Amino acid sequence: MDTDASSNAPRSNSSSGSSPGKPRICVGIGGWTFEPWRNNFYPAGLAHSNELHYASRQLTAIEVNGTYYSTFKPPTFAKWYGETPEGFMFSLKASRFATNRRVLAEAGDSIARFVESGIAELKDKLGPIVWQFMPTKVFEPGDFEAFLALLPREVGGRRLRHALDVRHPSFATAEFVALARRYGCVPVCTDSDKFPAIADAEADFAYLRLMRSQADVPTGYTPEALAQWAQGVRAWTGGERPRDVFVYFINGAKERAPAGAMALLQQLGMRRRA
């Protein structure tokens, strides 16, 4: 296929927006509004309006699920930016209207509406955009490549990073990994009983979603399991090619997610914010 200089042309890993210098480790949860967290994470009596402020000082990132279902406006993203400390990161789930469709090649308008909705207001706190596909969506190389060609490189002068959360086993192929890499995109590596775990060792960053939290384990994952994940994170951020890593405790026993994220931060020797 042609590889011209347009903004949607295929690109190599070197242009996918990885951070220069020291690699960033971002560990967090999905969202910040969840009733059970008001009994085991947030301090008693904390106003609901202060939950993002509090969570962003215990963790280093949050994956926003609400943007998958609804369209937010620029003042909302600007407010999130203002409520969170320097260095905090948001990963945003892209609109379901872009990904939950039979023909992905026709998603251009939905992609543009999401990217231009005001996400640039997050500035340097804008992490990867997560494009989540239905578990029934089968890998069709031609149509999927047409979708990847629609993903913009930047918004508001800030380079975008795209993570592909594919959930059908047909994506667990070298062809899909190579296609994602060609367009500077990264497969989401999911730790789950339901979905395939797909990773690209050559990707510019790692995006992990940990979904096996157990209710009978205070931190969701056992200390031994967390130690293994910590070792994997260090492998990504060290060596000859250090890269950013985003880790989210996102499902399973969701009430344990904050404790799991904080425990992993401790395993990594990263102090929580005051």
Q: State residue 272's pLDDT score.
A: 60
Predicted model pTM: 0.90
Q: State residue 80's pLDDT score.
A: 98
Cα torsion angle, 117, 184, 241, 58, sign: positive
Domain of 191, in residue numbers: 23-200
Q: State pLDDT tens for residues 201-236.
A: 999 999 999 999 999 999 999 999 999 999 999 999
Is residue 108, in this structure, part of any structural domain at all?
A: yes
Q: Which two tokens stand for residue 166?
A: 């594919």
Q: What's the rounded Cα separation, in Å, for the pair 104 and 102?
A: 6
Q: CB–CB of 115/155 below 8 Å?
A: yes
- More confident of the two residues 256 and 18: 256
Is residue 211, in this structure, part of any structural domain at all?
A: no
Is residue 6, in this structure, part of any structural domain at all?
A: no
Q: State residue 271's pLDDT score.
A: 67
* DSSP states of 166-195: --SGGG-SHHHHHHHHHBTEEE-EEE-SSS
β-partners of residue 183 are 11
Is residue 240 very low, low, confident or very high in pLDDT (cuts 50, 70, 90)? confident
Q: State residue 22's pLDDT score.
A: 82
- Domain count of the fold of the chain: 1
Is residue 265, in this structure, part of any structural domain at all?
A: no
Q: State residue 239's pLDDT score.
A: 76
Is residue 4, in this structure, part of any structural domain at all?
A: no
Half-sphere exposure at residue 248, Cβ-oriented, CA atoms within 13 angstroms: 27
CATH number of residue 194's parent domain:
3.20.20.410
* DSSP states of 55-71: HTTT-SEEEE-HHHHS-
Q: Which two tokens stand for residue 237?
A: 């951020």
* DSSP states of the chain: ----SSTTS-B-GGGS-PPSSSPPEEEEEE-S--TTHHHHTSPTT--GGGHHHHHTTT-SEEEE-HHHHS---HHHHHHHHHHS-TT-EEEEEPPHHHHSSS-GGG-HHHHHHHHTTSGGGGGGGEEEEEEE--TT----HHHHHHHHTTS-SEETTEE--EEEE--SGGG-SHHHHHHHHHBTEEE-EEE-SSS-B---TTSSEEEEEE----TTSTTSS-HHHHHHHHHHHHHHHSSSS--EEEEEE-SSSGGGHHHHHHHHHHHTT-PPP-
Is residue 16, in this structure, part of any structural domain at all?
A: no
- Residue 210 neighbours by CB distance under 10 Å: 25
Is residue 194 very low, low, confident or very high in pLDDT (cuts 50, 70, 90)? very high
Q: What is the mean pLDDT of the chain?
A: 91
Is residue 54, in this structure, part of any structural domain at all?
A: yes
What integer is the mean pLDDT of 234-262? 93
Single out the residue of 81, 50, 47, 49 nearest to residue 64, CA to CA: 81
Is residue 2, in this structure, part of any structural domain at all?
A: no
Q: State residue 156's pLDDT score.
A: 92
With a pLDDT cut of 70, the percent of the chain lying above it is: 91
Of 38-42, 139-143, 199-203, 269-273, the one with minimum mean pLDDT is: 269-273
Residue 2 has pLDDT above 60, yes or no: no
Q: State pLDDT tens for residues 81-135.
A: 999 999 999 999 999 999 999 999 999 999 999 999 999 999 999 999 999 999 9
Single out the residue of 148, 29, 64 nearest to residue 98, CA to CA: 148
